[in-house]
Amino acid sequence: MSLKYIDEYRDSDLAKMLVKKIQSVNCKDLRLMEVCGTHTMSIFKHGIRTILPKEITLLSGPGCPVCVTAQKDVDAFVEFARQNNVILTTFGDLIKVPGSGSSLAKEKAEGADVRIVYSVFDAVDIAKQNPDKEVVFCAVGFETTIPTLAATILSAREDGVKNFTIYSANKLTPPALAALMETKGVQIDGFILPGHVSVITGTNAYRGTFEKYNIPSVITGFEPIDILKAILILVQQNATGLPALVNAYPRAVSENGNLKAKTIMNQVFKLCDASWRGIGQIPTSGMELKKEFAAFDAAKKFNMDMPEVSEPAGCACGEILMGLKTPKACKLYKKKCTPMTPVGPCMVSSEGSCAAFYRYS
C-alpha cells in the first residue's frame, strides 16, 4: 500500500477496507498499546476504537510526557516558581498539573512569575531580556524534544547566557517499554510505537526490547489509515504467531533515525535513572546534563532535591499509563476529576488518556 498525498491517508473507502481485513482475521482477545499521546488523540478523534472488533482493546501507554512526569518533579516546578527572583517558563500542558499541594497555575495566580512558552528558545530570549532574573525552564519531553533542548543549551553557552537553566525531567521511550513488559499484571499483545519519537531514534532503538520480549511492534504515523494499517499488522502477527518489528512509517522514519539530532543530544546529555509516574524508577530511562553543562542545571544551581512523594489519593493515572486500567475504571473520573478540576495529569494534558476519554467518549 503506497500512498502519496495526505488525503489518501484519510480515505474512507480505504479505511473501510482495512477494517474489514482486521475483522476477517481470526484472533483471540488482544490488548494493543499505543505508546504516543498523539496516537491516543488521533484514535479518539477518528473514532477508531468504535469500529474495531470487540476482541481488540486499545490501551493508552506512557506516551504523554506530562502524564509520565513524576509527582516529585511537578513539586519541583512549583518550588522553583516560589523562589525569589525566578521566572519559571513552561509549556502550557504543565500549567494545571497538580503537585502535592499546589500547581503552577495556582502559584501564578498568587503572584509567581510563571510564563508559558512555545519553545525553549523563547525561555532563553526571556533570560536575555531579564539579566537580573533567573530563568528556569521545565524540561519535560521524550526524544522528540531533547535534541532541541540540547541545541538551545549550546546556543545559550555560546551567547554567554548565565541566568538560564533547565530542570530536566526528560524521558526515553524504549526503557519504558521494557519496564512495562516486566511489570506484574501488565498484559500487552502488541505495541503501536510512536511516530515522532521514532523519527529521532530510528527503528533500531526498539530492536533490543523486541528481541528480548518478542512482542509484535509497529511504528506508524498519525492519520487514520496509518493507525488502522498498524492495527492490522499487529492482529496478523498475533494470529500467525510470527511477531516482528515493523516500520510502517517509512516516509518519516529510518532505521537509524536522525543522526545529527542524536549527536547533539548526546553531546549535552547523558543517560540517568528516572522516575516515571505509576511505573516508578526505570534505570537509564532519563537524560541529565553532562558535567561540562552543569551551569545550566537548575537542580544543582538551586540545590533542589525533591523527595519521592505519593500520587494523589484515588488517582489511577499511573495504572492507566501501564494499561492496567482505563480512565472509566478510575473512581474519580468525571466526578472529582474533570478538565476544570483535574486530580492527575492524564486529565490535564492535551495528550492524556483521561482528557481524550472525557472529550470524545
- Are 329 and 181 in the same domain? no
* pLDDT at residue 265 greater than cutoff 80: yes
- Are 107 and 139 in the same domain? yes
- Are 210 and 338 in the same domain? no
CA pair distance 22, 16, nearest whole angstrom: 10
| Structural domains in the chain (count) | 2
For the stretch 311-331, pLDDT in tens is 899 999 999 999 999 999 999
CA pair distance 202, 128, nearest whole angstrom: 35
Whether 149 and 141 have beta carbons less than 8 Å apart is answered as yes
Q: Identify the pLDDT of residue 220.
A: 97
- Are 287 and 348 in the same domain? no
CA pair distance 294, 137, nearest whole angstrom: 15
Task: Using pLDDT thresholds of 50, 70 and 90, give the confidence band for residue 5.
Answer: low
- Are 202 and 156 in the same domain? yes
Compute the mean pLDDT over every residue in the chain, rounded to the nearest whole number. Answer: 94
Least confidently predicted of 12-16, 211-215, 262-266, 307-311: 307-311
Tell me what percent of the residues of the chain surpass a pLDDT of 70: 99
Cβ neighbours of residue 320 under 8 Å, at least 6 residues apart? 60, 278, 326, 327, 330, 346, 353, 354
Residue 98 belongs to some domain of the structure: yes
Whether 61 and 34 have beta carbons less than 8 Å apart is answered as yes
Q: For position 300, which CATH number holds? A: 3.40.50.11740
Residue 285 belongs to some domain of the structure: yes
CA pair distance 71, 59, nearest whole angstrom: 22
Q: Per-residue pLDDT averaged across 200-204, rounded?
A: 98
Residue 290 belongs to some domain of the structure: yes
Residue 279 belongs to some domain of the structure: yes
- Are 50 and 178 in the same domain? yes
For the stretch 140-150, pLDDT in tens is 999 999 999 99
CA pair distance 236, 196, nearest whole angstrom: 24
Residue 182 belongs to some domain of the structure: yes
- Are 33 and 144 in the same domain? yes
273 to each of 109, 192, 286, how far by Cα in Å? Answer: 34, 25, 6
pTM value surpassing 0.75: yes
Report helix angle 259-268 to 146-158, nearest 10.
Answer: 60
For the stretch 169-181, pLDDT in tens is 999 999 999 999 9
- Are 168 and 232 in the same domain? yes
For the stretch 16-73, pLDDT in tens is 999 999 999 988 899 999 999 999 999 999 999 999 999 999 999 999 999 999 999 9
What is the pairing mode between strands 245-247 and 86-90?
unpaired
Task: Using pLDDT thresholds of 50, 70 and 90, give the confidence band for residue 191.
Answer: very high
Q: What is the DSSP string of 7-61?
A: GGGG-HHHHHHHHHHHHHS----EEEEE--HHHHHHHHHTTHHHHS-TTEEEEE-
Q: Identify the pLDDT of residue 216.
A: 97
- Are 326 and 198 in the same domain? no
- Are 208 and 328 in the same domain? no
Tell me what percent of the residues of the chain surpass a pLDDT of 90: 91
- In total, the chain counts a number of residues equal to 361
- Are 220 and 285 in the same domain? yes
151 to each of 145, 248, 287, 298, how far by Cα in Å? Answer: 10, 29, 14, 17
Residue 189 belongs to some domain of the structure: yes
The range of the structural domain enclosing residue 201 comes to 29-314
Q: Per-residue pLDDT averaged across 258-264, rounded?
A: 98
Residue 19 belongs to some domain of the structure: no
For the stretch 82-102, pLDDT in tens is 999 999 999 999 999 999 999
253 vs 28, more confident: 253
Q: Identify the pLDDT of residue 308.
A: 83
Highest mean pLDDT (candidates 77-81, 339-343, 349-353): 77-81
Q: Which of 284, 299, 314 marks a domain boundary?
A: 314
Q: Identify the pLDDT of residue 7.
A: 76
Q: Strand, helix or coil at 169?
A: coil
- Are 297 and 344 in the same domain? no
Q: Per-residue pLDDT averaged across 108-130, rounded?
A: 97
Least confidently predicted of 10-14, 108-112, 253-257, 299-303: 10-14
For the stretch 212-240, pLDDT in tens is 999 999 999 999 999 999 999 999 999 99
* pLDDT at residue 4 greater than cutoff 70: no
Residue 211 belongs to some domain of the structure: yes
